[in-house]
Amino acid sequence: MLSKKVKSRIFFLFFTMVLAAVGMFIVFKSLENNVVYFFSPTEIYSKTNISFGKKIRVGGLVKVNSINKNEASISFVITDLKKEIIVSYTGILPNLFSEGKGVVAEGKLKDKKYFVADKILAKHDENYMPPEVKKALEKSNN
């Protein structure tokens, strides 16, 4: 059926590809801290080798009723529904920043509960719907 040459080529290619896949897996696994774009509050709490002076990103949901706006600065709570981190920030917020929605804050940790951000990004989720449907959903939930 298949000639010997073709068979050996299949064999060679298959093993090279398996090796490459394993190699890539190991690389990604060991670089996991660099590949992830942000840490959730739970991950921050469980991290032992945390560096407080270094820039990191924390992401999660903006806790409902946690936004505190002063003249220039704003503080709010990022939650992943298990742990929470208080974030303070001075600057312009993205338009889509709002309570109960996803957010990623870039900045430095003061301690494990307090984060000073110098950049706020709004994170959009995978749900797409027209406003009327959203309203109808909210109505049926209440």
The region of 6-14, 47-55, 69-77, 108-116 touching other proteins under the rule CB under 8 A is 6-14
User: Looking at 48-56, 66-74, 89-97, 108-116, which segment touches other proteins (CB under 8 A)?
Assistant: 89-97
CA gyration radius, the chain: 23
Owner of token pair 């957010």: 103
Q: Which residue, among 58, 54, 61, 32, has the nearest Cα to 43 in the 3D structure?
A: 58
- Cα separation of 124 and 91, whole Å? 20
Q: How many whole angstroms separate alpha carbon 117 and alpha carbon 92?
A: 12
Q: What span, in angstroms and rounded, lies between the C-alpha atoms of 82 and 88? A: 20
- Site residues for other proteins, 18-47, by CB under 8 A, read 20-21, 24, 28, 32, 35-40
Determine, following the binding rule CB under 8 A, whether residue 112 of this chain makes contact with other proteins. Answer: no
> Nearest approach, Cβ of 53 to other proteins (angstroms)?
21
What are the residues binding other proteins (CB under 8 A)?
A: 6, 9-10, 13, 17, 20-21, 24, 28, 32, 35-40, 59, 93-96, 101, 104, 120-134
